[in-house]
Amino acid sequence: MTNQLVRVLQGEVIAPPPVWFMRQAGRFLPEYRAIRAKATFEQLLNDSDLAAEVSLQPIRRFPKIDGAIIFSDILVILDALGCGVTIPEGGPVLARTLDQIPLDQPLDEAVFKPVCDALRKVRKELPPEKALLGFAGAPWTLLAYGLEGKGSKTWSRAKTFLHKEPVKAQKWLEKLADAAARLLNLHIEAGAQAVQLFDTWAGELDADDYATLALPAARRTLEQVTSVPTLFFARTGYLPDALNDLPCAGLAVPWQVPISEARRRFSGKVLQGNLDPVALLAGPEVAVRKTRAILDAMKGHAHVFNLGHGLVPETNPDVLAAVIEEVKKSL
């Protein structure tokens, strides 16, 4: 059975639209927090049973959601390249940055086994009308983390590296692009019916650097992933026109960009989004009103309802339920 989310990503207009949420598998759900009280984040990543359970939790709580995204982390690629990633409560930390690792470092695909096993388990349990989504980090975002060694407010080390070491930066972006494509294709082999490439730190580059340095690497990844529909998410308020030419079915629109503007500029793409996650914290009335505005703006266009970035931990599940009901009621 072809589910609605996949059908929309193939270009079909469906009303009401399918819905899922970035970061729906995780920290805002009480049932997730109950598991986390007994297991670390890294244990969840490396235990396929736990990862599968966390991926299925939002489907059980919100039966009208149309897709389950696998519980994982974009930094598994850096771990597979030997960076020694740990993810304590304060955020990710790398034992070795990419400039301490040779460019010919082989990708240790054994690191990907837990998430692929989890995908198979979720696909087995997931109702056929629900889509299973895989994901990976985009090359620039991986390079940013890989050079900083942790999160950053400025990403100054990574941004400087792009200009001071342009040849090495280009080679690393290409290597990370190929690694991301490999991971996405492994997700597909394990049961993913659509995949999303996350360029979380796209907005940390100016428009010229993003277009000339980062976007070609994202294209390189997407060109290698062809067997299922692909989504690309660049978290930036200046969505470049070049996104029109990316070989992906859909664009996930960040909340900073009005979706009516995105519809006008990217008419050839399926659009996903783009409610501000923080609007959910203002309560159901505000969240539902803003949801309705997005739905009205996307009438007649292939659309997947989602947020403009991931759910925040403070989100009340009851408010999210109200948003889902608004999406799914008759238009």
Which active-site residues does the annotation give?
23, 27, 36, 73, 145
Bridge partners of 85, per DSSP, are: 94
What Cα–Cα distance (Å) separates residue 35 from each residue in 40, 49, 88, 91, 122? 9, 12, 16, 19, 17
Calpha distance 272→266 (Å, rounded)? 12
Sorted by sequence, the CB contacts under 8 Å of residue 64 that are 6+ apart come out as 19, 324, 325, 327, 328
Distances (CA, A) of 59 to 20, 56, 194, 295: 10, 5, 17, 22
Q: What is the SS3 assignment for 32?
A: helix
Number of neighbours of residue 60 by Cβ within 10 angstroms:
12
CA distances 14 to 97, 144, 196, Å, are 45, 38, 20
Q: If you write DSSP's letter for every residue of 190-247 in order, what string do you get? A: TT-SEEEEEETTGGGS-HHHIIIIIHHHHHHHHHT--SS-EEEEE--SS--GGGGGSS
